Amino acid sequence: MKINAKDLAAGLVLLAFAVAGLYLNLDHTLGNARRMGPGYMPMLAFGLLFFLSITIMGLALFSGPDKLDRWAWREMFLILAAICVFGLILEKAGMLLTLTVTIAISSLADRTHKPLGVLGLIAFLVALCWLVFIYWLDIRIPVWPTYFAY
Amino acid sequence: METLFANLALGFSVAFSFENLTFALLGAFIGTAIGVLPGIGPVATISLLLPITFGMSPTTAIIMLAGIYYGSQYGGSTTAILLNLPGEVSSVVTVIEGYKMARNGRAGAALATAALGSFFAGSVATVVVAASGPLLTSVALSFGPADYFSLMFLGLIISAVLAQGSIVKGIGMVVLGVGLGLVGTDVQTGQQRFTFGVPELSDGVGFVAIAMGMFGIAEIILNLERPESRNVMTNKVGSLYLTREEFRRAVPAVLRGTALGTVLGILPGGGASLSAFGSYMVERKVSKYRHLFGTGAIEGVAGPEAANNAAAQSSFIPLLTLGIPANAVMALMVGALIIQGIQPGPRMVEAQPDLFWGLICSMWVGNLMLVIINLPMIGMWVKLLEVPYRHLYPAIMIFCSIGIYSINNNVFDVYLMVLFGIFGYLCSKLKLEGAPLLIGFVLGPMMEEHLRRAMLLSRGDIMVFIERPISASMLAIAAIALLAMLLPGLRSGKEKAMAEGG
C-alpha cells in the first residue's frame, strides 16, 4: 500500500472544514427545497465537501508514495509576526515607525540581508509608501505616533 | 455592423481620454514589471492594487487592472528567454525553446517574436471579445435562474477539472470556496451565518484578504524557503530583427497559438497558462520544423506566447457577458466591480456601455503600448532582474499590509490576511490549488441566490434543471467533462502534459 501523505492530510484539512461547517450550520433553519432557509445552501456545500474529503482520503491510500514537505517555520513565523506587529501598533505608532519595525522584523527572514542594506531598504520603502499612500492617494492612516497625544 | 462601429467609436473615445490612457499605461507598466520578476504574479499584484482603485471611476479601475493582467503575459516571456526561469506560470513553456534561442545568440529575435506574436494575438482576441460580447449578452438575457445555476456549476466543474493536480482535490477547494462565500449575513433572512458574533464578518469574509493572503503572503514564504538561483544573460540580447526565415516559421505558429488561446481562454479555469501549454504541444506535433524542437525552435516561442496573450484577453468574455469569472484574475475583477457598485453580468453592456467598450478598446491600445514598453526598453527590464528577492519581499509585504488596512481602516482585515497566509502556505504544502477556491468563493453567493430563485419558481421541483434545455445541456457538458477525466487515458495525458510543463 502506497500512502500519499499529502493527499491524506489535504483530505483531513477539508474534512475538518466540512465537519465544523456542518456543526455550525445546526444553528440555521434549513427550510425546504421550495423555500430554502439560511441553512440549506451551507448544508449542500459542506455536505458535499464532507464526501469529497472522504474520497480524497480513500484515494490517498493508493496514490502515493508522496511524503509531507518540510515547513519553513522560521521564515513563516517571521513574516507573519511582522504583519501582526504591523496590525498591533499601526494605529498608535503611526505609519513611519510601524513600517520601520515591520521591515526590520521581516528582514530577519532572509539570511543574506546586511544591516546597512536593511537600513537603506527601510529608508527607501518608507519614502515610497509616504509618497504613494499619503501624498498621492491620501488614505486615512496616521503618519506620526499618536500614543502621547492624549 | 454599424452599431459595432458606433460602439467601437464610443470605446475609443473612452480609452483615449487622458486619465484612461495614463492608467492603461501604468497598468501595462506594472504588469510588465511583475511579469518580469519571478515570485510575484498578477493575482497578488491585482489584489494588492485593488484598494488603490477605489477612488477611481470604475472604467479607469478596470482598465488599469486589465493592463496588469495582460502586461504580465508580455513580461513573463522576457524572464523565460533571458533567465531560463519563467517570470509567470504562463511562460513556463517559453523557457524550453526561448532560452535555447538565447544561448544560440538569438535572444533578441526570441523577445521580438514573443512581443509581436503577443500583440497580434491580443489584437485578434480583442476583436473576438468585441464581436462576441453583445451576441453572448443577448443569449444570456434569456437565461433563467436555473440556467444560471447550471452555468455556474459547469464553470466550477471545468475550473476544477482543468486545475493542476488531482481533480477531486480541485473540486474540494471549489466547494470549500463556496462555503467560505456563504459566511456573513444571509441576504433573504438577514440571519448571521458562521460569523462567531464578529461584526467584521457580517459582510462576509474579505475577498481581498483571501486573495492577498493566499497569493501574496503565502507566496513570499514559499519563495523564501527556496534558495535564489539566477544567472542573467545580460548584455547579450542581440538584434531584435528576425531573419526572413525566422519570420516565415513564426507566422503559422502565431496563428495557431492565437486561435487556440482565444478558445481556451473562454473556458473557465483555462486561462493563460493552459493555453500556452496547449499551444506548445500542438506546435511540437504539427510544425514542419518539429525535428528542431529542443534546439531553440522559434515556433516554441511564437505559439505559446501568442496563445497566453490571446487567452488573457478572451477570458474577459465570460466575465463581461455572463458575470462569471473564468480564472482567479477574473474573480478579482468581479470583486473590483462589485466594490465599485457594478454587478457584472449580461446587463453590463447596456447599463455601462462606456465601461464595456472602453475596456475592449483600451485592451488594444494597451497591447500596442506593451510592444513599445517591451521591445525598445528591454534593457531596463533586464536591469530590473538584478534586484534581488530580499529587497522585494518586504515591499510586497508592507504594500499588502497597508492596502488591506486601508480598505476598511480596520486592523481586523490585516489579521484575516495573516490567517489566509497560513492557510495558503498549508495548501501549497499539501498541493491544494488556491485558484479554484477563489472562483468558488466569488460564485458561491451567486449560486445560492439563483438556486433559491429557481427552486421557488419550480415549487421545489429539482427536475427544472433537466427540463430547461439550456440548463440541461450545461449539466450534460459538466458530466461529460467529469467522466472524461475519469478515463485513465485522458487523465494520464493531462498529468504527463502538466509534468512536462512544470
Report the b/e string of A43-75 with b at 16+ CB within 10 A: bbbbebbbebbebbbebbeebeebeeeeebeeb
In this structure, chain B runs to a length of 502
Q: What pLDDT digit, counting tens, does each position of A1-12 carry?
A: 678 888 889 999
Question: Using one digit for the tens of pLDDT, what is the confidence trace for B203-212?
Answer: 888 888 888 8
Q: Could you tell me which of B94, B129, B132 has the C-alpha nearest to residue B113?
A: B94
User: Nearest-CA distance from A20 to chain B in Å?
Assistant: 10
Contacts of B179 in chain A (CB under 8 A): 17, 21, 42, 45-46, 49
Q: What is the pLDDT of residues B200-259, one digit of tens each?
A: 788 888 888 888 888 888 888 888 887 665 555 555 667 777 788 888 888 888 999 999
- CB nearest to B169's CB, from A56, A75, A137: A56
Sorted by sequence, the CB contacts under 8 Å of residue B267 that are 6+ apart come out as B158, B162, B326
Please tell me the distance in Å from B445's CA to the nearest CA on chain A.
Answer: 9
Q: Which residues of B touch A56 (CB under 8 A)?
A: 166, 168-169, 172
pLDDT of amino acid B233 = 54
Task: Give the residue on B whose Cα is nearest the Cα of A8.
Answer: B430
pLDDT at B470 over 50: yes
Of A30, A16, A41, the closest CA to residue B184 belongs to A41
Contact B432 A10 (CB under 8 A): yes
Q: What is the mean pLDDT of residues B31-49?
A: 84
Instruction: Give yes or no for A102 touching B (CB within 8 A).
Output: yes
Cα separation values, A50 from A32, B179, B427, Å: 21, 12, 18
pLDDT above 90 for B417: yes
pLDDT confidence bin for B404, thresholds 50/70/90: confident
B26 interfacial to chain A (CB closer than 8 Å): no
Residues 108-147 on A with a CB inside 8 Å of B are 109-110, 112-113, 117, 121, 125, 128-129, 133, 137, 139-141
Average pLDDT over residues B169-188: 87
pLDDT at A54 exceeding the cut of 80: yes
pLDDT tens by residue, B431-464: 888 888 888 888 888 888 888 888 888 887 778 8
**Which range, B43-57, B106-120, B134-148, B486-500, is most confident?**
B106-120
Per-residue pLDDT of A72-110, as tens digits, reads: 888 899 999 999 999 998 888 888 889 999 999 998 888
What's the pLDDT score for residue B272?
76
* Residue B45 near residue B332, CB atoms below 8 Å: no
Say if CB B98 and CB B78 are below 8 A apart. Answer: no
pLDDT given at position A86:
92
Closest residue on chain A to B462 (Cα): A33
User: With contacts defined as CB-CB under 8 Å, which chain B residues touch A8?
Assistant: none
Residue B423 banded pLDDT, cuts 50, 70, 90: very high
Q: Percentage of residues in chain B with pLDDT exceeding 70?
A: 93
pTM: 0.83
Any idea which residue has 471611476 for its cell? B57
Predicted pLDDT at B500: 47
Grade residue A150 by pLDDT with cuts at 50, 70 and 90: very low
Task: Give the other-Cβ count within 10 Å of B339's Cβ.
Answer: 17
Residue B415 to residues A16, A107, B299, B332, Cα–Cα distance (Å): 21, 20, 47, 20
B395–A contact, CB cutoff 8 A = yes
Q: What is the pLDDT of residue B502?
A: 36
Contacts of B395 in chain A (CB under 8 A): 125, 128
Distance CA B254, CA B258 (A): 6
- Where b means 16+ CB within 10 Å and e means fewer, B15-50 reads bebeebbebbbbbbbbbbbbbbbbbbbbbbbbbbbb
Distance CA B95, CA B84 (A): 5
- The whole-angstrom distance between A68's CA and the closest CA on chain B is 7
β-pair partners for B193 = B184
Cβ–Cβ pairs < 8 A, chains A and B = 182
- One-character DSSP codes across B262-280: HHHHHSTTTHHHHHHHHHH
How many angstroms separate the CA atoms of B481 and A62, rounded? 24
Residues of A in contact with B414 (CB under 8 A): 83-84, 86-87, 90
Which among A35, A56, A133 has the least Cβ separation from residue B172?
A56
pLDDT (0 to 100) of residue B424:
92
Q: What are residue A4's DSSP bridge partners?
A: A66
